[in-house]
Amino acid sequence: MIKSHFDYVIVGNGLAGLQLALALSNDDFFKRKQIALIDFDYKINNDKTWSFWEKGNGKWDNIVLQSWTKSVFHTNEQTININFEEYTYKSIRALDFYKEVKSQIEKKDNVNFIIDEVIQLLEEQKVKIICNENTYYADHVFDSRLPKEFFINKKKHTLINQHFKGFIIQTEVHAFNSEVFTMMDYRMQYKETTSFVYILPLTSKRALVEYTFFTPFTVEEKDYDSLLNKYIKEKLNIKQYDILETEMGNIPMTTFPFEKYNTNKITKIGTAGGWVRGSTGYSFKHTEKKVSKIIINLKENKQPSAQLRNNRFKFYDKIFLKVLYDENEKGPWIFKQFYKKNKIETMFRFLDEESSFKEELSIMCSLFSWSFIKAFFKTL
Ligand SMILES: Cc1cc2nc3c(=O)[nH]c(=O)nc-3n(C[C@H](O)[C@H](O)[C@H](O)COP(=O)(O)OP(=O)(O)OC[C@H]3O[C@@H](n4cnc5c(N)ncnc54)[C@H](O)[C@@H]3O)c2cc1C
């Protein structure tokens, strides 16, 4: 019979939930703790591809689909070649990640997988977890569901949707250089917006080609389709191709104060915890760091969410999102400056929230413009 009381319940077997469960289950400190993961989804489909950068070898190398050390950035006027130096950009299929983490966790007898939908959390002496099928109790809940207020109070905070659709295409001819991925190609913008193509070449005949927007609004699926087809034909000069898989998503790049929804007994994790970097939409590596910090906090008997956010970077993201919101057409210029004027090492350290104030100043100088000055004062 399935237990109903646990020390820790993790709601959501996604990126954050699985990474947290893996870290808890690998640490002897927690070996007497009973842990449950609740998700309504069996996670048996490949719902996304995660990409991230890191130096040298990493902990997911056994499931990395493809990696690159070179990238390219295009506008109509200019092409910038980016050499990653000590960094490598790596991609992982979400399904490989789910399988790998589950296979490691399933070996532990203190972790339980439950298929159910969480409807409500009630903070009593313990946290009562009301699900569709059953009710469970935990001393602490780690929750991947977005707070309801995020959907209600959208207008109160700056929200840029990073929304996209991608095709994994197969060609008959050699159409891609598998050594170089395309970070951003602005040569086929949608109106005057921050919209670009991102390409991950997996072989010389296979690639993920994704049309991405960083905009306050969203578009219909047919708009992505027509832009993708046009780009593949006109910019990649590919006449014939098969679509093997598609990927669609919308990552909130926002100033919403997710951290306010943490309590003594409930910690919001993943996107719901604000772990997606507001200015980029990347969260894979951030998740690793936040999980490590939670483990330390638990061992030190602190609130698990203590010191998870760095306010300095939150402030930078606020300014950046304000510019993108107010002057969305400036996106290509901003990213061009970012990649052209800064060393890749400085940029990655900045995006990883590891940069020094001096490095941050040099990044700010590269973006120095009236738009940023206005946004700076509005944010203050
Ligand atoms: C298509 C796509 C591509 C992305 N690519 C990248 C990338 O390349 N690099 C990067 O760094 N970031 C990327 N991101 C951003 C971010 O890394 C992912 O969104 C990541 O999955 C967020 O992790 P998470 O754990 O918060 O959410 P998820 O991984 O979505 O997990 C949440 C889980 O909670 C479950 N759940 C939700 N509600 C309930 C409920 N009521 N009861 C039970 N279970 C529930 C869901 O079924 C899901 O399994 C991408 C996002 C998307 C959508």
Task: Evaluate whether 371 touches 327 at the Cβ level (below 8 Å).
Answer: yes
**Residue-level pLDDT at 375:** 80
- Average pLDDT over the chain, rounded to whole? 94
pTM, two decimal places:
0.94
282-291: average pLDDT = 95
pLDDT (tens digit per residue) in 70-99: 999 999 999 999 999 899 999 999 999 999
pLDDT (tens digit per residue) in 242-283: 999 999 999 999 999 999 999 999 999 999 999 998 888 999
Which atom of ligand 1 sits closest to the CA of residue 247?
1
The structure tokens listed for 131 are 């699900």
Domain ranges of the chain: 5-43+94-153+255-299, 158-253, 311-379
Give bridge partners of residue 179 from the DSSP assignment.
Answer: none
- Predicted confidence band of residue 225 (pLDDT cuts 50, 70, 90): very high
* CATH number for the segment(s) 5-43+94-153+255-299: 3.50.50.60
117 close to ligand 1 (CB < 6 Angstrom): yes
- The percentage of residues in the chain with a pLDDT greater than 70, rounded to a whole number, is 100
pLDDT (tens digit per residue) in 123-164: 999 999 999 999 999 999 999 999 999 998 777 899 999 999
Query: Per-residue pLDDT for 378 more than 80?
Result: no
**Residue-level pLDDT at 377:** 76
Which atom of ligand 1 sits closest to the CA of residue 250?
53
pLDDT (tens digit per residue) in 293-341: 999 999 999 999 999 888 899 999 999 999 999 999 999 999 999 899 9
Same fold, 5-43+94-153+255-299 and 158-253: no
Nearest CA to ligand 1 atom 46: 12
The structure tokens listed for 132 are 């569709």
**Residue-level pLDDT at 153:** 72
Is residue 270 left, alpha or beta, with left meaning phi > 0 and alpha meaning psi from -120 to 50?
A: left
Nearest 5 degrees, angle CA 372-CA 376-CA 379?
A: 135
184 close to ligand 1 (CB < 6 Angstrom): no
Where helices occur in the chain by DSSP H, the ranges are: 15-25, 94-105, 148-152, 221-234, 284-299, 311-326, 331-341, 344-351, 357-366, 370-379
18 close to ligand 1 (CB < 6 Angstrom): no
Q: Which of 47, 20, 53, 21 is nearest to 285 (CA)?
A: 53
Separation of CA 378 and ligand 1 centre (Å): 31
CATH class of 158-253: alpha beta
Residues 6+ apart with CB under 8 A from 1: none
104-114: average pLDDT = 94
121 close to ligand 1 (CB < 6 Angstrom): no
Separation of CA 57 and ligand 1 centre (Å): 24
**Residue-level pLDDT at 1:** 62
Separation of CA 7 and ligand 1 centre (Å): 24
DSSP class of 146: P
